Amino acid sequence: MPDIVLATLNAKYLHAAFGLRYLLANLGELRPRAALAEFDISQRPLEVVERLLALEPRILGLGVYIWNARETAAVVALLKRLRPQIRIVLGGPEVSYETEQQELARLADCVICGEADLAFAEVCRALLDGAEPPARIVAAPLPELSRLRLPYEEYTDTDIAHRLIYVEASRGCPFECEFCLSSLDIPVRTFPLEPFLAALDRLLARGVRHFKFVDRTFNLNLRTSRAILEFFRARWRPGLFLHFELIPDRLPPALREVIAAFPPGALQFEVGVQTFNPEVAARIHRRQDYARLEENLRWLRAETGVHLHADLIFGLPGETLESFAAGFDRLRALRPHEIQVGLLKRLRGTPIARHDAAWGQVWSPLPPYELLESRAVDFATVQRVRRFARYWDLVANSGRFPRTAPRLWAGAPSAFGAFLRFSDWLFARTGQTHALALPRLGRLLEEYLVREAGQEPAQVRAALNADLAADSAEATAGAAPEPPGARRQRRHRAAAGGGPASRPG
């Protein structure tokens, strides 16, 4: 039985606990005495506890995140009732800030705040030697990245076959956006390039085809980002899929050249626009060149096969429904394949709460700590936009209705306003935001377009039948497992006629 068990509750089974693999890889001489146990938040806490106790650990390290905080608190409370002698060490962003205020942290024997790659091993050595940790709350110093053992050998063959493989070339963010934890991670640090690329090469040799980079600003260091893209470009093969988070207003010619060389479907870029309101952006210390951002997105859509996923945040201090709608329409005109609308969250440690008094911000006390209302948007409006975001994902982002969905806003002065009207109607009609099966959603779309929007029934039915037939054919044909998002990408490419004819040379 392992002396040390590292565990977490992932949001879904397909996610792999990247941070825990760093801890495992950097345990040094303790690595043979450690094991990894992953769960997901759909599992009952008692079942998780039963499996953990069966491993009989002396030390249990738990990764705590915004999506698993409640479930982890239940697991820790049960463990302390059943086996109080097990030393519980917590880490992760959820317990790294405002630590003393959390009941979960008070239940633990030790909490490591910050990047625990090396600090966890030190705490384990002390506990296994019969000593106490250096402190109950340990503030881990930023590790020198060149000292870290890379975690990629900790991915098992099962992980590679069934899970999302995360990698990172850098940590930190140079920007100071007040809603984001990454704004606290200054300076930006880069992993030594040659060992990192060698690790990627080994993953490719083991069959990894989908790499999700967790760098918050992948294109900040242009030399590094170009080298990584050229590395994959030279090793391109069918099925390769790379996800990057990019600074949207930073895309110089040297980077454009290598991006354009990838075939359609190989690259996905997530770009955080968040707001088009310059006054709101300045209020939260977000620096963004909007003209350059728009030019870059137009180029990506016109000249490359990149799949574009763009983010907007609703509820930023001073952002009204009207100004958010204008920003949404401005972004939609740039034609990203997906627009994700997220509600503003008060993540622990972020300075967004400094606007509470001025803007009357009221937050949910439960994870993920979303905004409930403010002076700019009342509770009812927040709820309307919450439903809008869910329905937009089902109807527009999913790519399942490429012919039918545009009819919802065709000819309207505002796509946001038109879809919000549909969203209000759909909720009034169903009372649901989940468990809407595809055939039923199709019937509801038809009903709205014909009865409420007054569109020609035969034309609506023809568009809807074509969409449903294409979706059915795709489901029948798709036998091999695909990386998350690949099916959406394929639908979007098919709707656009296949995209630019870039080919690997």
User: What tokens appear for 477 in the block?
Assistant: 């044909």
Does residue 156 sit in helix, strand or coil? coil
**CA 69, CA 87: separation in Å to the nearest integer?**
19
Q: Which two tokens stand for residue 106?
A: 């008070």
Instruction: Report DSSP state, residue 449.
Output: I
For every residue of 16-33, DSSP letters joined together read: --HHHHHHHHT-GGGGGG
Residue 148 buriedness (CB in 10 A; 0-12 / 13-18 / 19+): middle
pLDDT value at residue 497 = 53
Task: Kindly tell me if the per-residue pLDDT of 484 is higher than 70.
Answer: no
Of 49-53, 137-141, 178-182, 395-399, where does mean pLDDT reach its minimum?
Answer: 178-182
For the chain, what is the largest distance between any 2 Cα atoms, rounded to a whole number of angstroms?
77
Collect all residues with Cβ–Cβ distance below 8 Å to 253 and sequence separation of at least 6. none
Please tell me the distance from the alpha carbon of residue 201 to that of residue 218, in angstroms, as a whole number: 19
Residue 492: pLDDT band (50, 70, 90) is: confident
Q: What is the CATH class of 4-146?
A: alpha beta
Does the pLDDT value for residue 384 go beyond 90?
Answer: yes
The whole-number average pLDDT for the span 112-134 is 96
| Residue 467: alpha-carbon gap to chain centroid | 28
Neighbours of 299 (CB within 10 A): 15
Q: What distance lies between CA 241 and its chain's CA centroid?
A: 16
pLDDT over threshold 80, residue 36: yes
Q: Is the pLDDT of residue 494 over 70?
A: no
Element (H, E) at 279: helix 278-283
Residue 501 has pLDDT above 90, yes or no: no
Q: pTM of the predicted model, to two decimals?
A: 0.93
What is the Cα–Cα distance from 55 to 46, expressed in whole angstroms? Answer: 15
Q: Where are the domains of the chain?
A: 4-146, 164-495
Digit-coded pLDDT (tens) for 134-184:
999 999 999 999 999 999 999 999 999 999 999 999 999 988 899 998 777
Task: Give the number of other CB atoms < 10 A from CB of residue 417.
Answer: 15
* Separation between Cα atoms, residue 350 and residue 180, nearest integer Å: 6
Average pLDDT of 390-408?
97
77-106 pLDDT tens trace: 999 999 999 999 999 999 999 999 999 999
Alpha-carbon distance 403 to 388, whole Å?
20
- Strands 59-63 and 34-40: what pairing? unpaired
CATH number for the domain formed by residue range(s) 164-495: 3.80.30.20
Distinct helix (H) and strand (E) counts, the chain: 19, 16
Model pLDDT, residue 504: 30
pLDDT at site 505: 30
What proportion of the chain, given as a percentage, has pLDDT over 70?
Answer: 94
